[in-house]
Amino acid sequence: MAEQSELQYTAEHEWVLVDGTTATVGITAYAAEKLGDVVFVDLPAVGSAVAAGTVVGEIESTKSVGELFAPIDGTVLEANDAVVASPELVNSDPFGAGWLIKVEFTALPALLSWDEYRALVGE
Instruction: Give all domains of the chain, ordered by start, each with its CATH number.
Output: 8-106 (2.40.50.100)
d(CA 97, CA 74): 22
Q: Residues in the chain, how many?
A: 123
pLDDT digits (tens, 9 = 90+) for 1-57: 567 888 999 999 999 999 999 999 999 999 999 999 999 999 999 999 999 999 999
**Confidence tier at 86 by pLDDT (50, 70, 90):** very high
Quick one: how far is CA 83 from the chain centroid? 12
Determine the pLDDT at residue 1: 59
The residues, any chain, with a CB within 8 Å of residue 110's CB and separated by 6 or more, are: none
Q: What is the rounded average pLDDT of the residues 68-96?
A: 96
d(CA 5, CA 12): 17
Whole-structure pTM value? 0.93
Asked if 116 and 7 count as a contact pair (C-beta separation under 8 A), the reply is no
- Rounded to the nearest integer, the mean pLDDT of the chain is 94
Determine the pLDDT at residue 2: 65
Inform me whether the pLDDT recorded for 73 exceeds 80.
Answer: yes
d(CA 35, CA 64): 6
d(CA 121, CA 116): 9
Determine the pLDDT at residue 3: 78
